[in-house]
Structure 1
C-alpha cells in the first residue's frame, strides 16, 4: 500500500518556482495581446484588480489547507464544508480546468512554432504533448526540476524586458513605432481608449492569465514542509503581480503603443523586435514557447494528481488510483494526455478560434473553483471559530473580501454573457456541470458498494 501514496519529492525551491510559474504563463505572453486590443492601457488596471482578487483567494486557500493536516487539496475542503456532491463537482471541474489550460498551451505552442516554420499548428502541438507526457511519466522530482528551470527562463525574460525598456525610456530611444516614452500610455486615446466597455471585456482573458496560481495548493501533498512553504509562496504573490504583470505591461505599452500591437501575436515578441537586435524577437519567441511548454507541463502534472486523488477517494474509476514504480499516477497521466490532445484537433479544425474558445471555458471553470474556495472559507470561519482563532495564517479582511471577490466574478460572468465572442462558450459550459450532477448519484452508489465490500 505504500506505493499508493504520492512521494514528497518537491523541495522549497521547487514550490517557490512553481508558484512563480503559476503566475506567469500563456495568458500573459500570448493572451495579453488580445486583452490589450480590447482595453488599451487600462489593461494594467484589469490585471491589478484580478491579481489582488487572486491573492485573497490564495490566502483563504492557504488558511484552509493548513487548518487540517489531512487536507490534500481543496476538493477535501469542499467535502468538509459543502458536502460530498460539491466535492465531486469541484474536483472533476478542477481536473477539467487544467485540461482546458493544457489545451490552450499546446495550441499556443503551435502558434509560436509558426513564427519560424510554416507548418500546421496541430503538428508541434502533438509533438509537445508527447514529450511532456514522457517526462511526467518519470518522477515528481523531475517535474519540480523542469518547472524550476522553466520559471527561471520566464523570470530572466521579464527582467530583461523591464531593464531594456527602462533604458530605452531614459534614452528616449526611437523605434519603428516612434519614440519610447511613458506618454505612450495615454496619448493614443487615453488610458481607456475603448471606454469602460473595452476595459470590462478584457477581464475574461485576464482571468485566464492567472489560472494556475493555486497550483501551490495542489502541490501541498508533495512538499516536505507545507506549514512553512505554502505561506511563503502565497505571501509573495502580490509582489510578483506588481512586478511581472503590472511592471511588464507598463514597459510594453511605453515601448510599443497599444495601437501597434496585434491581438494574434505575443506583445513580448513584438516589443523585442523593436530593440534593434535582429535575433532578439526570435530569442523571445523561443522563451514564450518554453513558457507554453512549462504551463502545459504544470497542466499535465495537475490533471494526473487530481484524477489520482479523485479515484483514490472513490470519486473516479479505481484504475486511475494506481502509481507506477516511480510513484507517478501513470494511467491518470495517459488519459489526461488523451483528452488534452483534443486541443491539437481544435487547432487543426478551427485554428483562428481555438485559443479563444478554450481560454473562455477555462476561465469560467476556474471562477467556479475559486468561488468554491471563498465559500468554503466563509463556512470554515462560521462553523470552526476555534480553528480560525488559532490559525497562524489567517486570511485578511474576511468575510468582506470574500463577498467582494464573489461579486467581481459574478460581474465577469455577466460580461461574458453580453460579449458576442465569449457568449457561446459561457452557454455551453453549464453542460459540464449538469453532467456532473447527473453522474454524482451513480458514483455515490458505487462508492457505498465499495465501502460495504471492504
Structure 2
C-alpha cells in the first residue's frame, strides 16, 4: 500500500496529445532517417515486408502491454506488473535492463548529435554537443512532466513533417514520371524491376530484421506514462491502437517512396535516402534540412531517455530494488533524485566521445537493441501470466487473438535474437548483453541479503 501511495504522488500532467506524440516519437528514430540506406542495400525492396512483419508483432506486443496497464491504472509503469506477475527478481532484472536500454540508446544518439553539430560547426569538438544537450534536457525535465510532454510533442512533430514531406514528394514524382539521376524515372516499377522484390535472397531478407527492429525500439515507452497521464483509460488505448496507421504511413510509406524514386541498388549509404530524394527535385540545402531533422530525432531520444530512466529508477526504488532516495519527489511531483542520477550516468558518453569518438556508436546501439527486445519478451511473458490468473482478460481492451498471438510474438522476437548471432556486427553487443543479464541475476540475491541485514 505504501508503494501505491508513493506512486500516486506523481503528477498526472500528460494530456492526450502528449501521449499520442510520445508514442509516435518512440517509434521514429534516427534509424529511419540515417540507417535506412544501408538497410535498403542489404535487403532491397523486401525491407518493406520486413517493416510490415515487425510492425504487426510490435502491435501485438503493445496490445499485451496495453491490457496489462489498463487492468490497474493505479500502477506507475509496466515494471510494477513484472513484480506482481513474475516476481521480485524479474522486476529487478527487467527494471535495471530497461534503465540500461534507454541510457545506451541515449548514449548512441548523443554521440550522433556531436557528429550532426559538426555539419554547421566543423571545428566543434565532438564531446561539447552531448554535454550541453544533457544539461539542457535535464533542467527541462526537472521543471515538470508537462514541459517534458510539450518538448517531446514538438520534437515528434518535426520528424512527422519530414516523413510526410518525403512521402508526398515521392508520390508526386512517381505520378509525374519524373526523371532522376542515372537515367531512371520515378516509378512503382522500380520496386520489382531491379532483381525482383527479394534481390538479395532469403539471407538478406532475414538479416534486415535486426535493422528494422532497431527502428522500433522505444514504442513501449507509453507503458511508463500510465502514472502521469490525465486520463489513462482513454489516452493509452488510443495511442496504442493508432500504432498500425503510424507503421503503415511512416515506415512502409517512406520506404515505398524512396525506392520508387531511386532503384534500391542506386541508393548510396554515404548519405541519407531522404537527402537523395530531396535533392532529386532540386531542393537547395537538402542536406542541411535533414541534418536538422536527425538532430531533432536525437534530441527526442535523449529527452525520452531522461524521462524513462528516471521513472524506471523511481519504480525500482518503490519496489525496494534501488536506493530509497530515488522515490523522493520535488514540489512539482518529479522524481528529481532519480532524474539527476540517470543524467549523471549519461556524462560517461561525453568522456567516451572525448577519448574514442570513432568506435563507440555501433557497440552501444547494438546493446540497446538487444536489451529492448529482452524487455519486450518480458512484457509478453508478464501478459501471459496475467491472463493465466485472469482468463477472461480485460473486456475494455483485450489482447486480440490471445493466446495464439502472444505466443507467436514471443517466438518471433526470440528468433530475432537468434538471427543476431549470425551477424558479425552485433555479435559483440549480444555477448555484452548476456554478461549484463548474468551480472544482474547474480547481483539480486546479494542485494536481498544486504537488505535483510
Structure 1 residues 18 and 112 mapped into 2: Cα distance closer, same or farther (>3 Å)? same
**Does 266-275 or 221-230 show the bigger shift?**
266-275
- C-alpha separation in 2, matches of 1:313 and 1:263: 46
- C-alpha separation in 1, matches of 2:136 and 2:323: 26
Matched, 1:65 2:69: yes
Report 1:107-146 matches (<5 A). 107-118=111-122, 119-146=124-151
Deviation at 1:112, TM superposition (A): 2.3
Q: Could you tell me which residue of structure 2 aligns to residue 37 of structure 1? A: 41
Aligned match for 1:103, one of 93, 102, 107: 107
- C-alpha separation in 1, matches of 2:206 and 2:355: 30
**Does 326-335 or 21-30 show the bigger shift?**
326-335
- C-alpha separation in 2, matches of 1:135 and 1:69: 26
What residue ranges of structure 1 are gaps of 5+ in the alignment? 450-454
Deviations 1:118-159 (A, max 9, x none): 244333233222222222222111101101111111121111
Aligned match for 1:379, one of 367, 385, 402: 385
Report 1:48-87 matches (<5 A). 48-87=52-91
Report 1:168-317 matches (<5 A). 168-177=173-182, 178-317=184-323
Calculate the TM-score normalised by the size of structure 1.
Answer: 0.93
Matched, 1:150 2:159: no
- C-alpha separation in 1, matches of 2:297 and 2:60: 25
Deviation at 1:70, TM superposition (A): 3.2
Matched, 1:410 2:414: yes
Q: Number of residues paired by the alignment? A: 447
- C-alpha separation in 2, matches of 1:194 and 1:64: 40
Deviations 1:234-267 (A, max 9, x none): 0000011000100011101212333333435432
- C-alpha separation in 2, matches of 1:350 and 1:242: 38
Deviation at 1:351, TM superposition (A): 4.3
What residue ranges of structure 2 are gaps of 5+ in the alignment? none
- C-alpha separation in 2, matches of 1:21 and 1:440: 33
Calculate the TM-score normalised by the size of structure 2.
Answer: 0.93
Please provide the CA RMSD for this pair.
Answer: 2.0
Aligned match for 1:439, one of 440, 443, 447: 443
- C-alpha separation in 2, matches of 1:346 and 1:252: 35
Structure 1 residues 257 and 285 mapped into 2: Cα distance closer, same or farther (>3 Å)? farther
Contact 2:363 2:426 (C-alpha < 8 Å) held by counterparts: yes
Structure 1 residues 28 and 445 mapped into 2: Cα distance closer, same or farther (>3 Å)? same
- C-alpha separation in 1, matches of 2:19 and 2:52: 24
Structure 1 residues 448 and 295 mapped into 2: Cα distance closer, same or farther (>3 Å)? same
